Amino acid sequence: MGDVEKVKEEAMQILGASEVLPKLVVFDLDYTLWPFYCECRSKREMPSLYPHATGILLALKQKGIHLAIASRSPTPHIASSFLNKLNLNSIFVAQEIFSSWTHKTDHFQKIHSTTGVPFNSMLFFDDENRNIQAVSKMGVTSILVGNGVNLGALREGLTRFSQNWNASQKNKQRWLDKYSKKPDTSNS
């Protein structure tokens, strides 16, 4: 069994142990899926992903979870070329790759418009804290990766997603309990 298959198998176990799964997982590209900045490379080069990235992507896809890209790369043509060379273009339901000063909030608005997935049903991995902070405020569970996406980050992300989901469901139930009670008309 190759490294990709081992990582995929372990990722499937992590996914199987999670009590609730996101509908959509969004990845940054530079220093999250691959260990470089696109703008520092030539599109003629053959790119490579971080060691765990392929296995994680395949496991998420096999589990029926949609995947998307949110990248602020100033060279979207290179990013797209690299995704093509890695045979990854077809696995993403949305690819928002454009330079922006909004810390990816515009990217997520477009991803939401394209997919219809609510922000609280998304999980996001990125290597920049400013993006994590901005996107978290939208209701997306966001995980800062230090050295690319890996099984530890996946485990942390799914744990935090479950915690956030459970908290939002409890708040929703409290609201329903408080505001959907029928007035008591049994006074005789």
Which positions are annotated as active-site residues? Answer: 28, 30
Distance CA 59, CA 110 (A): 25
Residue 86: partners with Cβ closer than 8 Å, 6 or more residues away: 47, 49
- Closest by CA to 134, choosing from 72, 59, 57, 45, is 72
- Nearest-Å Rg of the Cα atoms of the chain is 19
Coil, strand or helix at 68 = strand
To which H or E segment does residue 54 belong?
A: helix 53-62
Distance CA 94, CA 114 (A): 7
Q: Could you tell me the maximum CA-CA distance found in the chain, to the nearest angstrom? A: 83
